[in-house]
Amino acid sequence: MYAPTHFATDDITRVVELIQANPLACFVTTQDDVPVASHIPVVFASDDDLTGLTDLVGVKMYGHLNVVNPQYTALADGDRALVVFQGSHGYISPTVYDRVPAAPTWNFSAVHVRGRIRLLDPGEPALKVVRRTVSALEGRFGQGWDMTESLPYFRKIVPGVGAFEIEPEAVDSIFKLSQDQPADVRDKVGAWFRGSDVGTHRALAEEMCRHRPTARPHQEGTPRHDG
C-alpha cells in the first residue's frame, strides 16, 4: 500500500486500535493467480500480548470461512493472505476549505496485514476460533452476552467452519487526516465531519482531533496529490 510519509505512522498502538475497532476485514488470497476475497471478522488471538508492541510480526490472528466457500477450499497451509481493515473515512468537498484554488479529496484510515495462513483442524481448534471471535466482538460491540448456554449449538455448527490462523509478516498503515493542510483548514474539515451524520464522519472527526499532526505541513499553495 502506498502511504506518503506524512500519512504513515510507526505507532503500533494506533494500528491495533484500528483493527480492534474495525474487525470486519477484506480477506484476500489468490486462486489460479486470480485475486479472491471474502469479508469476514478477523480478530487477535488474544488481547493479552498487545501492549508494548513495536510491530505485529508474530502476533497471531484468527479468522474463519464457511467450509464450502471456494476461497477456503483452495487454501493450503503456508499460503499468503492480505487482510485489509478499513477505518473511518469521508469525502471532503472544496466548499469546506472556503478558499480558492482547492481540490476535493477523501480522508480515511486503513491497515493492511500480510501474512501466512495456518489451517486449523475441525472440532475443538475451530471452536476455539469461534469462541474467541464471539468474545472479542461481543466484548467490544455487544451487550455482554454470555455464550455458555449456546456452546452445544456452536458444536453442532462448527463442522461448517473453516478456521485458520494468520501470523503477520508485514503491516502497512495509512492515516490520511488532513495532516498536509494548514491548521485552520484542518479545523474546518474536522468541524464539517463533526456536524455530519453521514457514514463514519463523526468518528473521523474524533480521530482527527485525537491525532493532530506534530510535523510541519507542506508549504501552503504547494500542489500535492496523495492518491
* Closest listed residue to residue 88, CA positions, set 21, 9, 4, 173: 21
- Residue 219 pLDDT greater than 80, yes or no: no
Q: Where are the beta strands (DSSP E) in 72-227?
A: 80-92, 105-119, 161-176
The three cell numbers of residue 215 are 510535523
User: In a 3-state reduction of DSSP, which class is residue 86?
Assistant: strand
Per-residue pLDDT tens over the stretch 169-208: 999 999 999 888 889 999 999 998 899 888 889 888 888 8
The residue-averaged pLDDT of 143-148 equals 94
The three cell numbers of residue 133 are 471471535
- Residue 91 pLDDT greater than 90, yes or no: yes
CB atoms within 10 A of CB 153: 10
The three cell numbers of residue 74 are 483452495
Fold assignment, 5-210: Pnp Oxidase; Chain A (2.30.110)
The three cell numbers of residue 93 are 468537498
Q: Cβ distance 18 to 173 under 8 Å?
A: yes
Provide CB contacts within 8 A for 90, sequence distance 6+.
106, 107, 108, 193, 196, 198, 199, 200, 201, 204
Q: Residue 25 forms beta bridges with which residues? A: 40
Per-residue pLDDT tens over the stretch 15-71: 999 999 999 999 999 999 999 999 999 999 998 878 888 889 889 999 999 999 999
Q: Residue 175 forms beta bridges with which residues? A: 109
pTM recorded for the entire structure: 0.88
Residue 212's pLDDT is what? 77
* Closest listed residue to residue 185, CA positions, set 101, 74, 87, 108: 101
Q: Residue 109 forms beta bridges with which residues? A: 175
Mean pLDDT of all residues in the chain?
A: 90
Vertex 39: Cα angle to 35 and 44 (nearest 5): 105
H or E element in which residue 44 lies: strand 43-44
Instruction: Check the CA dihedral 122-127-129-130 and report its sign.
Output: positive
C-alpha to C-alpha distance for 177 and 174, rounded to whole angstroms: 9
